[in-house]
């Protein structure tokens, strides 16, 4: 419960081998697996009264005085935990060491015992990914000075909040339970079962081929654009070129482990999940099933065929097969080039084509990247939240609401690179195969329709509470910011709409 994640990942130094990964709870808070996922640091957001109520439910009656004292201790622990120093230097993000060294750095977390108990019996390899060791050390000291009973109470609060959403008593939003919890749960935890129904009904080889061709075009344009940029050194460009040559583009869906179109194979894959009428029991069963294969992975080699898939997105209103190319580029193409640009976002740029952790070995290029990244962070943090009518959305205490540029930086980088790449690919494509104007919309140029279609992909209606929730937890900027931010940074948009304003930020 103290840990955000105990998992298995490719070794950043030697990516053919899987190693353990341990991270603490308040790292990467924006990347929650499920929107209601409860992290240890979240305890500070619960009023002390509520903590008391939960502890009173967990403990028996007649413990009132003890519950009062404990809830205060829990609150202090969580506050100290959230405030414990954390260095986010990139060299500590992918820091690896031995389990013994990690145990010495943070003795009160007893990492050696945890690994011994959870790893397969014949597990030999001892290296582990140990993110932010300084943070582990300070949390270890915090545990050392906290009473055992308080730690136990903290665990109970986290366990209660982790499983509470699966009980009938949970009601957090205006949405119905099936939509708010069950639907999202199936989508995230049993994705291949949900995906099978989609693939049977709505996917085809023709779609796959179309996206494949479009993606290849975008890949070469993306590479050319990056090589033409003037803020990266030739040394860094060579490394980027090697990386982009090594980029494996996979379109569609999983063909193995599991094969997403084969019901028998899916049945075998999910065989140990026990599905009943109780969501709570299902969540427990899936969690248990999920952790076993993870530990077995430790003994296996890296499966390099696991890549993000986009089968589900090739449908209206993103994908249409017979439309002018400028519309395909600004919708389907946007998804593909966005994903490609992730290979050079804040995290992606730290890895080479073999998935090894390697920086560019060029201070000036790194400094330029960071300045441009900071520009994007400030830009998106200044975008004010609005609803679908353009009216402002406020925080719960009535203050103006703005985006969170830091949380969403990787996605905003991918949006900017994706838009610029598609714009350029569209120009090249148009030279080879001139497209037609849209009947009935002849008042717009092809260039303008490219951007209108791009923006239309993000048309949405949200309640103020879901806008607030998305800004607080989302790794992506809200739809209005994804349109506004990307267009403010697009030279193509400025030309197409004759805005002639200076671009705010440019990265890829």
Q: For helices 409-432 and 446-456, give the axis angle rounded to 10 degrees.
A: 150
Judged by CB under 5 A, the stretch of 134-142, 373-381, 414-422, 490-498 that binds Zn ion is 414-422
How far apart CA 177 and CA 159 sit, in angstroms, is 21
Question: Interface mask (CB under 5 A) for Zn ion, residues 357-396, using x and -?
Answer: ----------------------------------------
How far apart CA 175 and CA 184 sit, in angstroms, is 12
Of the candidates 220, 505, 413, 248, the one whose C-alpha atom is nearest the C-alpha of residue 228 is 220
Residue among 282 and 408 whose Cβ is closer to Zn ion:
408
Residue among 133 and 312 whose Cβ is closer to Zn ion:
312
Shortest reach from residue 415's CB to Zn ion, in Å = 8
How far apart CA 508 and CA 409 sit, in angstroms, is 13
Q: What's the Cα-to-Cα distance from 226 to each of 187, 207, 247, 250, rounded to whole Å? A: 35, 28, 14, 21
Judged by CB under 5 A, the stretch of 25-33, 43-51, 273-281, 413-421 that binds Zn ion is 413-421
Residue among 76 and 250 whose Cβ is closer to Zn ion:
250
Shortest reach from residue 504's CB to Zn ion, in Å = 20
Residue among 178 and 307 whose Cβ is closer to Zn ion:
307
Interface with Zn ion, residue 419, by CB under 5 A? no
Shortest reach from residue 412's CB to Zn ion, in Å = 9
- What is the torsion angle, in degrees rounded to the nearest 10, for the CA atoms of residue 252, residue 256, residue 260 and residue 262? 130
| Own/partner long-range contacts of 243-246 (Cβ < 8 Å, ≥24 apart) | 243/343, 243/344, 243/351, 243/352, 243/353, 244/219, 244/343, 245/353, 246/352, 246/353, 246/354
Max CA separation in the chain (angstroms) = 81
How far apart CA 24 and CA 445 sit, in angstroms, is 52
Shortest reach from residue 110's CB to Zn ion, in Å = 37
Site for Zn ion, residues 95 to 124, rule: CB under 5 A: none
Shortest reach from residue 483's CB to Zn ion, in Å = 15
Q: Is 130 helix (H, G, I), strand (E, B) or coil?
A: strand
Of the candidates 93, 76, 84, 83, the one whose C-alpha atom is nearest the C-alpha of residue 135 is 84
Judged by CB under 5 A, the stretch of 56-64, 238-246, 408-416, 434-442 that binds Zn ion is 408-416
How far apart CA 75 and CA 165 sit, in angstroms, is 22
Shortest reach from residue 419's CB to Zn ion, in Å = 13
Shortest reach from residue 342's CB to Zn ion, in Å = 6
User: Residue count at the site for Zn ion (CB under 5 A)?
Assistant: 2
Burial class (CB in 10 A: 0-12, 13-18, 19+), 420: buried
Judged by CB under 5 A, the stretch of 87-95, 412-420, 429-437, 488-496 that binds Zn ion is 412-420
How far apart CA 254 and CA 251 sit, in angstroms, is 9
How far apart CA 329 and CA 449 sit, in angstroms, is 11
Residue among 196 and 338 whose Cβ is closer to Zn ion:
338
Judged by CB under 5 A, the stretch of 58-66, 110-118, 175-183, 404-412 that binds Zn ion is 404-412
Shortest reach from residue 314's CB to Zn ion, in Å = 16
Q: Is 252 helix (H, G, I), strand (E, B) or coil?
A: coil
* Tokens coding 235: 């040394």
Site for Zn ion, residues 4 to 43, rule: CB under 5 A: none
Shortest reach from residue 411's CB to Zn ion, in Å = 5
Residue among 346 and 494 whose Cβ is closer to Zn ion:
346
Shortest reach from residue 347's CB to Zn ion, in Å = 11
> Phi and psi for 207 in degrees, rounded to 5?
-60, -45
Judged by CB under 5 A, the stretch of 288-296, 310-318, 405-413, 500-508 that binds Zn ion is 405-413
> Phi and psi for 418 in degrees, rounded to 5?
-60, -45
Residue among 180 and 411 whose Cβ is closer to Zn ion:
411
Shortest reach from residue 340's CB to Zn ion, in Å = 10
Judged by CB under 5 A, the stretch of 24-32, 117-125, 298-306, 406-414 that binds Zn ion is 406-414
Q: What is the CA radius of gyration of the chain?
A: 25
Question: Interface mask (CB under 5 A) for Zn ion, residues 75-94, using x and -?
Answer: --------------------
Among 51, 334, 414, 481, binds Zn ion (CB under 5 A): 414
Judged by CB under 5 A, the stretch of 186-194, 265-273, 297-305, 409-417 that binds Zn ion is 409-417
Shortest reach from residue 226's CB to Zn ion, in Å = 18
Interacting residues toward Zn ion by CB under 5 A: 411, 414
């Amino acid at each position: 419960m103290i840990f955000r994640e105990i998992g298995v990942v490719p070794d950043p130094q030697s990516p053919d081998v899987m190693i353990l990964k341990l991270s603490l709870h308040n790292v990467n808070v924006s990347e929650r697996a499920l929107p209601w996922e409860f992290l240890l640091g979240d305890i500070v957001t619960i009023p002390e009264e509520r903590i008391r109520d939960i502890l009173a439910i967990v403990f028996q009656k007649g413990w009132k005085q003890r519950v009062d004292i404990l809830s205060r201790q829990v609150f202090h622990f969580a506050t100290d935990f959230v405030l414990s120093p954390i260095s986010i230097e990139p060299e500590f993000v992918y820091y690896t060491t031995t389990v013994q060294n990690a145990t010495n750095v943070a003795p009160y977390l007893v990492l050696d015992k945890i690994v011994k108990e959870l790893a397969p019996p014949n597990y030999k390899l001892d290296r582990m990914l140990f993110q932010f060791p300084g943070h582990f050390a300070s949390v270890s000291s915090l545990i050392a000075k906290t009473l055992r009973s308080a730690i136990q109470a903290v665990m109970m609060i986290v366990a209660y909040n982790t499983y509470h959403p699966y009980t009938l008593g949970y009601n957090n939003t205006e949405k119905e339970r099936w939509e708010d919890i069950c639907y999202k749960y199936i989508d995230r935890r049993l994705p291949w079962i949900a995906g099978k129904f989609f693939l049977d009904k709505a996917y085809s080889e023709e779609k796959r081929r179309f996206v494949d061709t479009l993606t290849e075009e975008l890949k070469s344009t993306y590479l050319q654009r990056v090589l033409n940029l003037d803020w990266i050194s030739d040394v860094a460009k060579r490394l980027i070129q090697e990386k982009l040559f090594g980029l494996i583009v996979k379109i569609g869906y999983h063909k193995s482990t599991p094969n997403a179109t084969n019901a028998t194979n899916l049945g075998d894959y999910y065989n140990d999940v026990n599905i009943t009428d109780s969501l709570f029991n299902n969540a427990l069963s899936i969690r248990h099933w999920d952790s076993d294969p993870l530990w077995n992975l430790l003994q296996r080699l890296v499966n390099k065929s696991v890549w993000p898939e986009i089968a589900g997105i090739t449908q209206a209103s993103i994908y249409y097969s017979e439309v002018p190319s400028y519309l395909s580029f600004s919708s389907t193409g946007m998804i593909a080039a966005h994903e490609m640009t992730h290979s050079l976002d804040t995290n992606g740029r730290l890895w080479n084509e073999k998935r090894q952790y390697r920086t560019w070995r060029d201070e000036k290029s790194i400094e330029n990247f960071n300045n441009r990244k900071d520009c994007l962070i400030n830009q998106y943090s200044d975008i004010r939240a609005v609803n679908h009518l353009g009216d402002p959305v406020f925080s719960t205490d009535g203050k103006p609401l703005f985006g969170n540029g830091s949380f969403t930086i990787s996605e905003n980088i991918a949006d900017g690179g994706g838009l610029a790449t598609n714009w350029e690919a569209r120009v090249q494509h148009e030279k080879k195969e001139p497209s037609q104007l849209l009947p009935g919309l002849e008042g717009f140029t092809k260039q303008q329709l490219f951007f209108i279609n791009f923006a239309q992909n993000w048309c949405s209606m949200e309640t103020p509470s879901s806008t607030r929730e998305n800004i607080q937890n989302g790794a992506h900027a809200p739809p209005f910011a994804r349109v506004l931010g990307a267009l403010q940074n697009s030279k193509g948009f400025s030309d197409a709409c004759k805005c002639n304003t200076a671009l705010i930020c440019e990265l890829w």
